[in-house]
Structure 1
Amino acid sequence: MRTEKELTYFKNKLVSMKQELTKAIEANQPFSFEDYGELTSLDNHFADTASQLEDREVQFSIKESAKHILTEVEEALDRCKDGTYGKCVETGKDIPVERLKVLPYAKRIIEAQKRFDEAADSSNQTELSFSTPKDDKRGDERLQTVDELQCEHGNSSFTIK
């Protein structure tokens, strides 16, 4: 159980984080070609366009990360309101103060978070195959699968077994 002083400290920290994240999200607007001093994309060199694309991808990544953390912070503030802040959502055990100081929006103890992350990692790992299933009847013998093309024409990463 958290003391009133601890709850106030963490709630203030979470409110401050929420304000900072909101400002970061609002400030992180995508660049336009005009921001680079160009009138249109037509007069850009392809390297300039690639740099602009990379800048946009970085901005998008930062913004999405900030949105995710903001959601976690808002959930933590909700837990403050309903009296469950500092309790692991999986086990119900108290989250150590040291963990909350580092990650005030933590909702699991370290062991439960590891299990959660491992389960998420294993569910995301699906083996992708570009092979056409054996029972696929497309009706056109000229169509070939990637595996057939690699076998016939070779590929730097393809080895014949």
Structure 2
Amino acid sequence: MMTLSNNEISVLKQKLTAMKKSIEEKQENSLLDESMRESTGDITTGIGNHLAEGNAERVEREQEQTFEQIDDKVLGEIDEALHRIEEGSYGVCVDTGEEIPYERLEALPYAKRTAQAQEKYDQGY
């Protein structure tokens, strides 16, 4: 059984921490944007605001909300991964107990399953 070295874990922990920080910053910025829009009273809602324009804005807002939901989910996964590092259970598949290959963790540091187990999980097995 090949366990992750302390060095590999610290590299992945840095990655996780950086990802977490960038998502949190992005969320703060979108909150700032939101309050800016509200304080300017959204000047566009005046004369000549065509239906199409409103639709485009709505679609954009819906996309933003979807991204925020994804970000929240990823943040949760990152926190879980950091917790597993603290616990010493990081890098082990939560379903099979197998080691998650370093390559996979490098690409997806918050992975909690091996690729095979994740596939099964996604298909609902």
TM-score interval, normalised by the smaller of the two chains: 0.7 to 0.9
Query: Where does structure 2 lack aligned partners over 5 or more consecutive residues?
Result: none
Match of 2:55 among 46, 50, 54: 50
Task: Tell me the distance in 2 between the aligned counterparts of 1:73 and 1:81.
Answer: 13
Partner of 1:17: 19
Larger radius of gyration: 1
Whole-Å Cα distance in 1 between the matches of residues 53 and 38 of structure 2? 13
Greater RCO (CA < 8 Å, at least 6 residues apart): 2
2:115 to 105, 110, 114: 110
Compared with structure 1, are the counterparts of its residues 12 and 42 closer, same or farther at alpha carbon in structure 2 (3 Å cutoff)? same
Q: Tell me by how many angstroms 1:33 deviates.
A: 9.5
Choose between structure 1 and 2: higher helix proportion.
Answer: 2
Q: Moved runs in structure 1, 4+ residues, more than 3 A?
A: 29-36, 40-43
Within 5 A, what are the aligned runs for 1:8-157? Answer: 8-29=10-31, 30=34, 32=38, 34=40, 36-38=42-44, 40=45, 44-119=49-124
Q: Contact 1:25/1:67 (CA < 8 Å) preserved in 2?
A: no
- Structure 1's 113 and 41: CA in aligned 2 closer, same or farther, altered over 3 A? farther
Instruction: Report the TM-score when normalising by structure 2.
Output: 0.85
Separation in structure 2 between the aligned mates of residue 22 and residue 12 of structure 1, nearest angstrom: 15
> Measured at CA, do residues 35 and 95 of structure 1 come closer, stay the same or move farther in structure 2, by a change above 3 Å?
farther
When normalised by structure 1's length, the TM-score is: 0.67
Unaligned regions of 5+ residues in structure 1, if any? 121-161
Q: Distance in 2 between matches of 1:9 and 1:26?
A: 26
